[in-house]
Structure 1
């Protein structure tokens, strides 16, 4: 049946795409609508249904080429979404954590046992990682809009993915560093109150979630030929 030509094309195209399920679904719907409109036009020129569908698919373009174009679009969209999350969530998470720490724990200098100067340097650096990562993500979003007019979307997608991975990596490194430093100075400091333990769990959940988003972003970008 002629219907199988369009169905097979759309199915094959969908199997090659990665990204937001909604965006993939919308692209496939648009593709099917375009193929059906082209089919109707060819039917009006006297072709049989099967011939019309086959001609519509041929004119639309090879699946690999169309998938590559669509994937670049999906990768940019996913990268933008990830950078927006990084720009918004990281500073909010840090502010919430700092407020809770000052309210329930107090300054790093007032933790009972002597605090080495190098520990304060690590603590300060860790405090800066979220803001720095958020700032980099924000700058990347702004530059992305400007550079989109001059550069290939495939390059921008990979750049966004790389920045997202780097930003999450810096935040993760900062958190691991302060935990290791705290354990070295006074392991008892890791035993926090219930509210701070919950805050720590939420923080790590957010970091892991952002890491998964960044990884997914990189996956979407790197499969673009």
Structure 2
């Protein structure tokens, strides 16, 4: 069976792009629709379908030529997604901090230090989210998006995720020793959930940033 030039082209482009699944699927769907329209336009003039498909692909540009611009768009989309994930975790971390404060009524310096750690991670996540969303949103009308921003967002989010994981471990240990173990245990579960959300998005953002720098 003869290979379909359009499908081969889309497969090559798919393998070279990294980013949010929905945004990537929409992008590839637009490419497919454009190529199909080009093929149909040529076949109406009597060009054989296989030849028309090869011409459409050639005129569109090679995957190596167009992938960088597509990847930049996907990287920005993933950067915004990671920033939003960080923003969502701020309230969760604030709740964890309040629960720890309640549990530290004796007071316990270890819980106090943990509360300060949670506050620092929440602040970092909030600043990350606001800065990234502004830099990839309204400010793009005035200034270009900084080239290194996706990497900065990815690694800052990774650091925040590590901070959440450490907090979850400490909360787990503390809950076994604290008289208010339901509060610290619940805070630990929240910290684990926040870690999972941010860590997954940060990993995807790092992959997009590396792809965009190639």
Flag the 1:110–1:143 CA change in 2: closer, same or farther, 3 A. same
User: Partners in 2 of 1:24 and 1:174 — Cα distance?
Assistant: 30
Shift in Å, 1:17: 1.7
Structure 2 gap segments, 5+ residues each: none
Q: What is the correspondence of 1:140-155 to structure 2 with a 5 Å cutoff?
A: 140-149=132-141, 150-151=143-144, 155=147
Matched, 1:134 2:126: yes
Structure 1 gap segments, 5+ residues each: none
CA contact (8 A) 1:2 1:53 kept: no
CA contact (8 A) 2:97 2:118 kept: no
User: Partners in 2 of 1:13 and 1:126 — Cα distance?
Assistant: 42
RMSD: 3.3
Task: Specify the alignment match of 1:11 in structure 2.
Answer: 11
Aligned residues: 212
Q: What is the correspondence of 1:54-65 to structure 2 with a 5 Å cutoff?
A: 54-65=54-65
1:63-115 deviations in Å (ceiling 9; x for gaps): 1122222221111111101101112x222112221333344x144x524xxx4
Flag the 1:24–1:179 CA change in 2: closer, same or farther, 3 A. closer
CA contact (8 A) 1:10 1:32 kept: yes
Q: Kindly name which structure, 1 or 2, has the bigger radius of gyration based on alpha carbons.
A: 1
CA contact (8 A) 2:4 2:50 kept: no
CA contact (8 A) 1:2 1:51 kept: no
